[in-house]
Structure 1
Amino acid sequence: MAGRVVRRRWLRHPAQTIVVGFAAAILVGTALLMLPVASTGAGGTDFVTALFTSTSAVCVTGLVVVDTGTYWSAFGEVVILALIQLGGLGIMTFASVVGLLISRRMGLRTRLSAAAETKAVGLADIRKVVTGVVKVSLLVEAAVALVLGLRFWLAYDESPGRAAYLGVFHSISAFNNAGFALWADSLIGYVTDPWVCVPIALAVIFGGLGFPVWFELRREIRRPKVWSMHTKMTISVTVGLLVLGTVFMTASEWSNPDTLGAFSAPQRVFVGFFHAVMPRTAGFNSLDVGAMNDSTLLGTVVLMFIGGGSAGTAGGIKVTTFILLFFVIYAEVRGESRVNAFDRQVDDRVIRQALTVALLSVGAVVGSTLLLMSLTGLPLGPVLFEATSAFATVGLSTGITYDLPTSADLVLVGLMFLGRLGPITLVSALALRERRRHYELPEGRPIIG
């Protein structure tokens, strides 16, 4: 009886359940990848390599310590693909269901207001949420796989079977923002091919928006004025970051002979757009990231840290957190007592959650960067890039991942797990553990600045 009570207490919170579930998936994936049949070489894979790859797949990151297309066998690639799909669907489903659980803990008036604002489904429709996530995911993946498969078959002389496999693998990897590719140089061989890069970029964007946004756009796509605050924030910031990111990437690398300098002007803009999409936590690259200018790498770090939309396959602190903090600063600069955004007043609890997620994320990236520098002896630039890429579950790399010591690999494993589950677990824990204090302390005003 006592053991049963302890078990119930341990798994009574949704955040605990998802952490245990993802850890179990990573361990199962590690065991499968350690099997001799999973790799092309003699014998099985060592534990750290299998653990790193399994964590990167389940957390839909894309960082690798071995070349995916040559090191792993067909069985190993299928395991990685299954882990990517499991991780992507798991995050989207969990985040969507947690939204319903949070609304359940609200008071009646607050719940009615939230339902009117978000147009969310009722608590009895959790099955509808889950099946909706699965249906939309499979539909998008199938469409992108079809386009990619036909392109690889008709334009690159791949056999129909191989072309279909390449289409399915990279479609699932793109939609789930994983960034795993079956070529050692990722998509550099297809840098100016719109029939490869555009479907992958669109899948990345769509996967990064999040199911609540899809659900609302499906019903109200022609009436943006009635969109919820969440959808307005996600769409507007996503479009803004894509435009600004494209301009920045293209301008920063315009004359770099090792990246965009070798292409025509239209091609430079096209490739710049592709590389503005990828820091949204996809991880594919059609240029040599290690050859980019320092300013480009710093801008990419910022984009990676922001990430994509909530309840989607993207990582980072999320675009809603980023824009909400902007409105907090804007209100403070104007001397306003309340934070308003998109014709709505922002709840103080949401502001505290955004600040908590952002500051803890900064602490995680800075702390891990210092630790990695001490373990590897590498300079700040590439280490900061690698740490941010792991925490934001992006998968882009300047090329140092293959040569890191085992201790650094384990740090990145922890970062990927923390970055994938940390923000959503923290927010759900804060929201579901809300409690009122029965007394108020005297007000204090420390000097700021």
Structure 2
Amino acid sequence: MAGMPGVLTAVRNWVDHIARTSPARLALLVFAAIIVVVTALLSLPAATVSGERAPFVDALFTATSAVCVTGLVTVDTATYWSGFGQAVIAVGIQVGGLGVMTLASILGLAVSRRIGLTQRMLTASETKTARLGEVGSLIRAVVITSLTVEAALTLVLFPRFLSIVDGAPAAAWHALFMALSIFNNAGFVILEGGLTPYVGDWWLGLPIVVGTFVGAIGFPVILNVAARWRTPRRWSLHAKLTLATSALLTVGATLAIGAAEWTNPGTFGPLRLDEKILAALVHGTTPRSSGLATVDVGEMREATWFLGDALMFVGGGSASTAGGIKVTSLAVLVLAIVAEARGDRDIEAFGRRVGSSTVRLAVSVAFIGATLVGVSTLVLLMITDLHLDVILFEVISAFATCGLSTGITPDLPDAAKYVLVGLMYAGRTGTMTVAAALALRHRRRVIRMPNERPIIG
């Protein structure tokens, strides 16, 4: 024990060194450590209803899905896990939603009443905040927004669950768990039978839509809009691009999915008009983030699956609880294409110019994401006998931490489940975070090569 202080000092110095030299790499390590802890807790006999230890692959998959706020499952959350197991999943969802690095800064603030440089760097890496001075404000926005929205969702859902489950304690637990799952875009459900029996229930459907949208736009947007809500013209370009692109995607997806599934006997076909409208609204909102489904996704038409692939791959806002390449990446790429088609020298939006470094970053994020999806799809096609459409849907859902599923995940071989675990981890930590953790992002070069433009297209 005499050498313990020296060991702790060495570990602390190593952590500080990693935080200064590569905050992204430390973020990956801490995130992985949280997944290991949740996996260990779900491996306890008390975590299952049967009292037996869960297979390692199921415990790891569920832990990763919870911490990475995905929602894909290999076992039924409502019937397989005990109350203790569901509580562990709920804690994993909350930790993953807030962000491990943000949570570390919150704990540091509570203990020392201040945020150190190292903690600011860690939080800036997790929340994509460029100026370290904004981290304190962003943390307050994260805590206040999360607790406020989750409390509001819990209060709204509690009366409805009183009529669904037996007893006020059970209703309160279901309402709290559902609120955490909605706002953190986690996609977990502890109702037996899922949400399909409540496809036309506006009391459940509307909170899902609103909570999902708020959780998916990102904390920097919430902070910016809250600070300047009276003067939308002064909102940042990031906030304007995120809100505009998210709104367009939500409206477009609602109309497209509603049209594709309107007469499908396995999904929207048997529903009343108001139920169809609600189902279309829910499924137009959740594919980019929460993955909560009120109809059987496995019964949807292939055209809807393809549309879902695109929506999931795009995802939500930066530094939000959603995954994907993010809506700002899509917006920047579209703006770049429009500027090139017009022959404009600069890429402009809302009276602001988008720099070339932002375009390069958007291209990198999209390419890395597409590569991960493509390689993983190829691997799963090689180790399973399933068709491309369902494999691609499941792979993109894992990468985008969405959680929608055609129902094939529980029956996948263990090797395929481990592939999805890796995808969920990479998708939650961010494609550029993974890339930055493996290589230096900035290189100093004394000599610049001569400029020459190759032929494109």
1:145 and 1:14 map into 2 onto residues whose CA distance is 35
Give distance in 2, aligned partners of 1:382 and 1:440.
47
- Give 1:231's match in structure 2, choosing from 239, 264, 274: 239
SS of 1:310's partner is coil
1:260 aligns with 2:263: no
C-alpha contact (below 8 Å) 2:394/2:405 kept by paired residues: yes
Contact residue 325 and residue 366 of structure 2 kept, 8 A: yes
Change (3 A) 1:325 1:193: same
Q: 1:10 to 1:193 in 2, by over 3 A?
A: same
Aligned equivalents of 2:104 and 2:304: distance in 1?
32
What percentage of residue pairs aligned between the two structures are identical? 45
Gaps of 5+ in 2: 1-5, 106-116
**2:340 paired with 1:310:** no
Question: Cα distance, 1:92 vs. partner?
Answer: 8.2
Q: Which residue of 2 aligns with 1:272?
A: 280
1:193-245 deviations in Å (ceiling 9; x for gaps): 11111112211111111111111111222322111100000110111011001
TM-aligned CA distance change 1:98 to 1:301, over 3 Å: farther
Correspondence 1:172 to 2:197? no
Q: Matches of 2:15 and 2:310 in 1, distance apart?
A: 41
Q: Which amino acid aligns with 2:201?
A: D
Give the aligned residue type for 2:446. H
Partner of 2:90: 81
1:109 is aligned to: none
AA at the equivalent of 1:223? T
Tell me how far 1:268 sits from its aligned partner: 1.2
Name the counterpart of 1:34: 43
| 8 Å contact kept, 1:353–1:430 | no
How far residue 104 of structure 1 moved from its aligned partner, in angstroms, is 9.7
Q: Does 1:216 align with 2:198?
A: no
Partner deviation per Cα, 1:34-84 (whole Å, 9 max, x = no partner): 000000114211111100000000000000000001100000000000000
Distance 1:164 1:359 in 2: 43
Match of 2:339 in 1: 331
Q: What whole-Å deviation, never above 9, does each CA across 1:240-286 have from its counterpart, x for those lacking one?
A: 01100100010000111111111122321221010011112201100
Q: Deviations over 1:386-437 (max 9, x none)?
A: 0000000000000001100100000000010011113251587799943553
Report matched runs for 1:334-373 at 5 Å: 334-373=342-381
Q: Do the aligned residues in 1 keep the contact of 2:27 with 2:122 (CA within 8 Å)? A: no
Alignment-derived partner of residue 58 in structure 2: 49
Residues 292-348 of structure 1 deviation map (CA, whole Å, 9 limit, x = unaligned): 000001001100000000111000000000010000111111112221122111111
Q: Which residue of 2 aligns with 1:14?
A: 23
1:116-162 per-residue CA deviation (whole Å, 9 max, x = no partner) reads: xx9x8974453332232112101100110111111111x33631111
User: What aligned pairs does 1:407-418 form with structure 2 within 5 A after superposition?
Assistant: 407-418=415-426
Q: 1:111: which partner in 2?
A: none
State the Cα RMSD in Å: 2.8
**Which residue matches 1:67?**
76
* Between 216-225 and 236-245, the greater mean CA deviation after superposition: 216-225
Cα 1:100–1:320 shift into 2, 3 Å: farther
Name the CA shift for 1:398/1:411 in 2 (closer, same or farther; >3 Å).
same
Aligned to 1:381: 389
Look up the SS of the partner of 2:37 in the other structure.
Answer: helix
Change (3 A) 1:9 1:82: same
CA contact (8 A) 1:57 1:84 kept: yes
Q: Per-residue deviation at 1:448?
A: 1.9
